[in-house]
Amino acid sequence: MANDDLNKMSIKQLESKLKDNEEALLNFRFQKVLQQLENPFQIRNAKKEIARIKTILREYELDIRKAAK
C-alpha cells in the first residue's frame, strides 16, 4: 500500500490495517518454515508496511499529525 493511502486513513483504520498486517506476517513466517512461501519478499514488504503504520500512529500520539475531526 502506498504512503499516500496510509496518510489518508483514520486512526481506527490504521489500527485495523496494522492488525491485519501482523497476522499476514505471522502467516508468511509459517509458510516460509513449511517451504510454501512463493515470494519471500512478502515478509520484507509486510514488515515495512507495519513499520510505516506504527510510525504514523506514533506521530498521531505525539500530535505531530493532527487527527481529522
The structure's pTM equals: 0.88
Instruction: Return the percentage of the chain with pLDDT > 70, whole number.
Output: 97
Read off the pLDDT of residues 24-39 as tens digits, 9 standing for 90 and up. 999 999 999 999 999 9
Place of cell 498486517: 21
CATH class, 3-61 region: mainly alpha
pLDDT of residue 68: 61
Residue 56 pLDDT exceeds 70: yes
pLDDT of residue 4: 82
Cβ burial, residue 28 (10 Å; 0-12/13-18/19+): buried
Distance from C-alpha of 14 to C-alpha of 27, rounded to nearest angstrom: 20
- Across the chain, the runs of DSSP E, i.e. the strands, are none
Place of cell 486513513: 9
> Per-domain residue ranges for the chain?
3-61
